[in-house]
Amino acid sequence: MSCTHRDCFSRSEGFTLVELLVVIGIITILIGLLLPVLSRARDAALTAQCANNMRQNGQATIQYISDSQGFLPPYLIQWNSGGLPYVNSPYIFQWLPAFYEAQNARTWVCPADNFQLSDDHGEVGPQRGPYPEIYSGRSDIYYSYAINFDQPLGRALLYPSTNNSYFNPGLALKVTQSASFMFLHETNELGGQTYNDPTNYFRFNHQGNTAMNVLYLDGHVDTRKVGEILPPGPTLSSNLRAFWFGRPDATSQLLF
């Protein structure tokens, strides 16, 4: 017996419970397949932007080395503010952007950084900022990167009255392998670190929280895993000695 127009329309437009569950199951599977792909794509985009910021800092560093006849940018500088709002000893993430990056301190921020200090502080973010700009005094500077405190240094303090080697510029000319020597890396703590700092002071926010970006002295940036940055024990391989100390045959920080 043929169906009426209303009956045929009702049956053709409806879904059974089984059909609905099948559709929901297919959508769930597709979401499960797509989410990791989207997460990896987002991570790759953040890693690329972070690396681009580091390259700009690398260009500023190379320009400073050229201007200073072979010295690396120091962590702190003595600078006469001339009555400007900030104190006379700005950090590298304050003075290098001001003098060499058209006052663009955003290059010191990694977009993957949540600005949390390491767990042993028991503090919640945001941390590592804000710091004031040199010229305006506006407090809007954060930093995601730290300089290598194991870089070659001069023994004599540049400013003896400060009793502080943080003012001493590193000796770029004492580095034998610039493409292997790390100047900046991603930090979860201070703006300068040594190879034997606690592991949680280093921020690995890329490739599923297993890697970080690193700026080398020759200006190139690479993404490195934990084992390529931190020694597994007290003895450093020749690669890690070149990475931290500037020479593969150095057993500790070089002082001249």
Mean pLDDT by 10 residues, the chain (256 residues): 53 72 86 78 92 98 96 90 67 95 94 74 65 88 97 93 93 96 95 95 94 98 96 93 97 96
pLDDT at 118: 57
Residue 27 placed within a domain: yes
Residue 215 placed within a domain: yes
Structure tokens at 92: 């590298």
Helix axes 92-100, 17-67, angle to 10 degrees: 70
pLDDT at 218: 97
Q: Is the dihedral of CA 88, 91, 94, 99 positive or negative?
A: positive
pLDDT at 120: 55
Name the residue range of residue 192's domain: 5-245
pLDDT at 155: 93
Residue 253 placed within a domain: no
Please tell me the number of Cα atoms within 13 Å of 185 on its side-chain side: 29
Q: Do 109 and 53 meet the contact criterion of CB atoms below 8 Å apart?
A: yes
Rama region for 231: left / alpha / beta (φ>0; ψ in -120 to 50; rest):
beta
Residue 200 placed within a domain: yes
Residue 97 placed within a domain: yes
Structure tokens at 16: 């059974």
Question: Which residue in the block uniquely carries the two structure tokens 């690669």?
Answer: 239
Number of domains in the chain: 1
Residue 234 placed within a domain: yes
pLDDT at 138: 87
C-alpha separations of 170 from 55, 94, 157, 227 in Å: 19, 18, 12, 25
| pLDDT tens sequence across 174-210 | 999 999 999 999 999 999 999 999 999 999 999 999 9
Residue 53 placed within a domain: yes
Residue 44 placed within a domain: yes
